């Protein structure tokens, strides 16, 4: 498997990253299966695992993450989501970030985290507050590098400038959603990251299952079934026109993949890896079978003619369902428009 430089850090990571969200209550509850998936990923050349504090609320996922060999592979953690009741048990404040790093170190059974990412942009918190806390953790040796996730381009630039002007640790990478159905980051995020020498670690290359073969025209698609899908029903409700467009695109892409001699799973993952600004794509297998179906995508090269046909189905820079973009601009909410 190819390994690519993570921005300008000097660290190289595998082009496929093993996401840990499906290890536990949101996916497989079989602890032994999770361990087998981790070891198979290692054998395939994956040296990068991605997890988050909210995943730790399911004990099988937490114990599985402890089995990742931190000394020989790269571990990425993120924080932002709510970890309990109360207004201060989430967010990007100094208070919460420092606490969550300490908790993550304990859960992972390690002395440091290779990459610590801020999971969402929080406009109400000064970026200097967040970067200051992260810089202290780097200086303490508890975190090696810091990054952002699902930040709008203006916030990516603001963070880079704040780090430069305040002599703080800068974000070395961005982690946005990216798939054939969710191409919004092509408009500005990817070029902004390239301009600042940032790595890009994308998530959901299969568009949260829409490009896995599960959603096909004429099939009996049952609604959201997992805890994750229940939380994100606006992305799966087939009564919504935006999701109908996704269904139509998934059907056309399945036919395109068949013509190219590829599986529907291989095509979208290879599409993500094909972009020159992308460092790695996070895959989130729930079973060994799913992992085996995704690994071959790392060896697929898409020719320009095939990429042109994909662009005809889903135009560059387009999110078929805006809800899939991962971040909603609060300036567009009714209250901000005084309506």
Q: 280 has which bridge partners?
A: 201
Task: Give the whole-angstrom CA distance, residue 176 versus residue 193.
Answer: 11
The residues annotated with a catalytic role in the active site are 55
Residue 108, both tokens: 């992972």
Query: Measured at the alpha carbon of residue 134, what is the angle toward residues 139 and 169, in degrees to the nearest 5?
Result: 70
Q: Please answer whether residues 144 and 115 qualify as being in contact, where contact means their C-beta atoms are separated by less than 8 angstroms.
A: yes
Residue 44 DSSP SS3: coil
The pair of structure tokens assigned to 161 is 């400038």
Residue 58 per-residue DSSP state: S
Q: Which residues contact 259 (CB under 8 A, 6 or more apart)?
A: none
Give the HSE-up count for residue 333: Cα atoms under 13 Å, Cβ half-sphere: 7
Whole-number Å distance between alpha carbons of 133 and 126: 11
C-alpha to C-alpha distance for 282 and 284, rounded to whole angstroms: 7
How buried is residue 179: exposed, middle or buried, by Cβ count under 10 Å (0-12/13-18/19+)? buried
Give the span between the Cα atoms of 226 and 208, in whole angstroms. Answer: 11
With residue 5 as reference, give the H or E element that holds it. Answer: strand 3-5
**E-strand stretches of 169-226:** 171-175, 199-202
How many other CB atoms are there within 10 angstroms of residue 308's CB atom?
Answer: 9
């Amino acid at each position: 498997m190819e390994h690519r430089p993570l921005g300008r850090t000097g660290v190289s990571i595998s082009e496929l990253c093993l996401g840990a969200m499906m290890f536990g209550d949101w996916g497989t509850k079989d602890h032994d299966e999770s361990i087998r998936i981790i070891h198979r990923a290692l054998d395939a050349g994956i040296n990068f695992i991605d997890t988050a504090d909210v995943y730790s609320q399911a004990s099988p996922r937490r114990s599985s993450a402890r089995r990742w060999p931190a000394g020989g592979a790269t571990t990425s953690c993120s924080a932002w989501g709510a970890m309990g009741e109360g207004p201060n048990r989430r967010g990007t404040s100094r208070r919460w970030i420092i606490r969550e790093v300490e908790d993550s170190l304990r859960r992972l059974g390690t002395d440091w985290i290779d990459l610590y990412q801020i999971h969402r942009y929080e406009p109400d918190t000064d970026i200097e507050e967040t970067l200051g806390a992260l810089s202290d953790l780097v200086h303490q040796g508890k975190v090696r590098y810091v990054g952002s996730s699902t930040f709008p381009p203006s916030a990516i630039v603001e963070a880079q400038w704040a780090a430069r002007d305040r002599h703080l640790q800068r974000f070395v990478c961005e982690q946005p959603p990216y798939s054939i159905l969710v191409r919004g980051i092509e408009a500005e995020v990817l070029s902004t990251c390239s301009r600042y020498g940032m790595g890009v670690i994308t998530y959901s290359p299969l568009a949260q299952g829409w490009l896995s073969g599960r959603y096909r025209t004429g099939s009996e698609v049952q609604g959201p079934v997992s805890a994750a899908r229940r939380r994100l029903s606006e992305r799966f409700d087939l009564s919504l026109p935006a999701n109908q467009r996704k269904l139509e695109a998934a059907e056309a892409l399945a036919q395109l993949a068949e013509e190219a001699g590829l599986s529907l799973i291989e095509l979208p993952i290879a599409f993500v890896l094909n972009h020159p600004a992308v460092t790695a794509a996070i895959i989130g297998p729930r079973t060994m079978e799913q992992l085996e179906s995704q690994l071959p995508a790392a060896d697929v090269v898409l020719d320009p003619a095939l990429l042109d046909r994909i662009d005809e189905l889903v135009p560059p820079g387009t999110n078929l369902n805006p809800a899939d973009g991962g971040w909603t601009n609060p300036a567009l909410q009714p209250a901000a428009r005084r309506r």
